[in-house]
Amino acid sequence: MNLEQASRQLEALGNPTRLQLYRTLVRAGPAGLPVGGLQERIGIAASTLSHHLKRLVETGLVTQERQATTLICRAHYPAMDALIGYLADECCADAGCVAVAAAAS
Amino acid sequence: MNLEQASRQLEALGNPTRLQLYRTLVRAGPAGLPVGGLQERIGIAASTLSHHLKRLVETGLVTQERQATTLICRAHYPAMDALIGYLADECCADAGCVAVAAAAS
DNA sequence: CCTCTATTTCCATCATACCGGAAGGATAGA
DNA sequence: TCTATCCTTCCGGTATGATGGAAATAGAGG
């Protein structure tokens, strides 16, 4: 994980629609959700949704698996782990950060 | 911490220059750095730097303290804690996330 | 008041993001 | 093959972001 990759992932999550999208996928759990299901829940145009999803997939935060004509989307936890780890490292380099202190306890 | 605030902070960090800025401030530790010191290290125009800093301050990720004519900037750890906490909650709502498992151990 | 330094705001330019309608694949089933 | 569904890509408009030079502001000190 380097600064460029981290910033790309952060930017991907730094849009309310995409963050909501990611959140929805997390709440959907390991089963994931098809693109159409996401569209129902979020309520945006299919093309807009596809753009956002593409961004999340490109940055590795979401994976997609084809099942016949439907595309199942899932939150890709390892990517979020790595991102949080990077932020925590940056944040807590001087051990002044509560998050790592809590994790260490 | 709600979705809008989280996405604004994520967007603020989702720019390579701003993430580098934040990282520099974290590495500077509690003493912080003046704006001019940041400019030396990052090497961008003062106006550009000021724009980026404004964004980081507005989102609460960085604080500023005036000392005579110089402005000392510091990473504001509680904000990062809250953001990481939000991401971890979203990510690990179904306990499928390694980060929280590690924190819990 | 004048000046010097530090920083911000103003302003303009260029690039990129966001949005969604319309058209174009991809896949399954009749 | 024909059709229907699901999703993506193409395209256009509008908005927002990034960048930095120039001018303005803030504070310290003569």
pLDDT in tens, A58-75: 999 999 999 999 999 999
* Number of alpha helices (DSSP H) and beta strands (DSSP E) in chain B: 6, 3
- Please tell me the distance from the alpha carbon of residue B10 to that of residue B56, in angstroms, as a whole number: 10
Considering CB atoms only, which of B10, B20, B29 is closest to A94?
B29
User: Which residue intervals of chain A are DSSP H helices?
Assistant: 3-13, 16-28, 35-42, 46-58, 77-91, 98-104
| Strand D closer than 7 A to residue A46 Cβ | yes
Considering only A17-21, B15-19, B42-46, B81-85, which range has the smallest mean pLDDT?
B81-85
CB contact under 8 A, A10 and B13: yes
Q: What is the mean pLDDT of residues A19-35?
A: 96
Q: How far is A44 from chain B (nearest CA, A)?
A: 17
- Whether the beta carbon of A7 falls within 7 A of nucleic chain C: the reply is no
Q: What is the pLDDT of residue B105?
A: 45
Domain count within chain A: 1
Q: How far is B70 from chain A (nearest CA, A)?
A: 24
Cα(B12)–Cα(B18) distance, integer angstroms? 7
Contacts of A55 in chain B (CB under 8 A): none
pLDDT band with cut points at 50, 70 and 90 for residue B77: very high
Residue A98 predicted with pLDDT over 90: no
Residue among A8, A84, A97 minimizing CB distance to B87 = A84
- Give the pair of three-digit tokens for residue B86: 């939000």
First to last CA, chain A: 25
How close does chain A come to B83, measured CA to CA in Å? 10
Give the list of residues 6+ apart from residue B66 with CB closer than 8 angstroms, or none. B72
- φ/ψ (deg, to 5) at A8: -65, -40
Specify the pLDDT at position B72: 97
Q: What is the pLDDT of residue B34?
A: 98
Nearest DNA or RNA nucleotide to B11 (CA to C1'): D17
Quote the domain boundaries for residue A92: 3-104
Task: Indicate which CATH number applies to the domain containing A23.
Answer: 1.10.10.10
B14: helix, strand or coil: coil
| From A10, A29, A93, residue closest to B10, measured CB to CB | A10
- Cα dihedral value A30, B80, B15, B52, nearest 10: 160
Chain A residues whose CB is inside 8 A of the B27 CB are 93-94
